[in-house]
Amino acid sequence: MTDIAVRVENLSKQYRIGGAQARYKTMRETLMDMAAAPARRLRRLGRPAPPEETIWALEDVSFEVEQGEVVGIIGRNGAGKTTLLRILSRITEPTEGYAKIKGRVGSLLEVGTGFHPELTGRENIYLNGAILGMKRAEIERKFDEIVAFSEIEKFLDTPVKRYSSGMYVRLAFSVAAHLEPEILLVDEVLAVGDAAFQKKCLGKMGDVASEGRTVLFVSHNMAAISALCPRSVLLEEGQLACYDDTQEALEKYLNLGAVLQRIPLIERKDRRGSGRITLMDVSFTDPQGTPTPTIRSGQDTRACISYVCKDGVPLRNVVVSIAFDDYLGRHLFSCPSRISGEPFDEVPPSGRMICAIPRLPLPPGTYTFHLFCGVNNETGDWIRHAGQVSVAEGDFFGTGRLPEASRRGLLVPHHWDVE
């Protein structure tokens, strides 16, 4: 019998939700609460506790990963992928259930954790290595390798605050890539750096996988998941939707996308901007405005973005943009209303902004999109990685044919002549 490296049993995690005020209670409130608690408890005696505002970020998830297996974890934003990884990394405790892990665990929830801008590259390699759980002797042994991989030899004694973001990420990933735990938990760290470096990182991940280590890999990068992971866990709203061959799981995942036509953005905390306008959700529809289960290459497509203005007042001078990235995070194209010459002089307090894209130039695949909305030359709301959209095969050229997968970038309408 093969060894089970990770065993997850009925794992659940509950979070209390509420505004920022509810999170940081002040001491006075707590003291008042404590004083009032006995009376409240007395009154409540024998009755069930009132429902609190809580959500289950993870609910009753069970699965097993054998030693040496590489398992992908997929699901949309907020499905519980990161929560699962955080529990397995022992950053946060589960509310119910348990997980058993056999072996030394290394977790990469982010690259460059603990990097200090004032310290030099050399110093940060040691610091970051130690934070990731490497022994000093181990870091010393791998030091040259790390530096060579990161390609920053020349800047080793420069404080990292003077690094370009590319250099910073390369150094950070190099340290992380040389971590040698028996079980590796990875969260979306490949969504960084330029394309060439990403390729290198994917290669390194492949090496790790082939060395017989157990890997749990969270990613939105479907190509990477299907290349690296034979099996995948699909999470949907905190529950295990399936644990199967990656192809099966991916198919299920893409179908889930079809069912959920409207991509909600309200819960998103990672937005930037003044907040004068809030983007609420996005849906992709056909030209008539009917939500379509799938969008297809070459189809006339509309992206409808619902929004609400702060304080319910109409806003003037509004620009909006949607941008698409491919699975490697490479920018493909964007549709900025400012450039196309259609800024809105005034928008109603709430409504939908609609971007019509005739003959969608995207070949089949999964794409990430970003949303931006500016008010009066200021960022009103900006959500990077707002969501994902999968594009199905469609007849872009009217010939029933599409370029083969390796030759796809963007589809451009064209015409050939000979004279």
Partner 1 sequence: MNTTVDDQQTGTVIPPVHEAPTILIRPSRGWVALNLRDLWNYRELLYFLTWRDIKVRYKQTVLGAAWAVLQPFFTMVVFSVFFGQLAKVPSDGIPYPIFSYCALLPWSYFAGALDRASNSLVGSSHLITKVYFPRLAIPISAVMAGLVDFGIAFVVLLGMMIYYGFTPTTAALTLPLFLSLAVATALAVGLWLSALNVQYRDVRYTIPFLTQFWLFATPVAYSSSLVPERWRAWYGLNPMAGVVEGFRWALLGKEPPASLLAVSTVVVVLLLIGGLYYFRRMEKTFADLI
Contact positions vs partner 1 (CB under 8 A): 15, 23-28, 30, 86-105, 107, 109-110, 113-114, 116, 118-119, 123, 126-127, 130-133, 135-136, 159, 182
Q: Which is nearer to partner 1, 25 or 331 (CB)?
A: 25
Q: Which is nearer to partner 1, 115 or 396 (CB)?
A: 115
Q: Which is nearer to partner 1, 95 or 334 (CB)?
A: 95
**CA–CA gap between residue 33 and residue 275 (Å, rounded):** 33
**CA–CA gap between residue 400 and residue 259 (Å, rounded):** 26
Q: Which is nearer to partner 1, 110 or 393 (CB)?
A: 110
Q: Which is nearer to partner 1, 218 or 347 (CB)?
A: 218
Q: Which is nearer to partner 1, 95 or 239 (CB)?
A: 95
Q: Which of 189, 184, 156, 186 is nearest to 171 (CA)?
A: 156
| Nearest approach, Cβ of residue 306 and partner 1 (Å) | 31
CA dihedral (234, 327, 387, 214) positive or negative:
positive
Contacts of 296 (CB under 8 A, 6+ apart): 360, 391, 392, 393, 394, 395
CA dihedral (65, 70, 75, 80) positive or negative:
positive
Three-class secondary structure of residue 19 per DSSP:
coil
**CA–CA gap between residue 220 and residue 338 (Å, rounded):** 30
Contacts of 364 (CB under 8 A, 6+ apart): 297, 391, 392, 393, 394, 402
Three-class secondary structure of residue 336 per DSSP:
strand
DSSP conformation class of 248? H
| Nearest approach, Cβ of residue 216 and partner 1 (Å) | 13
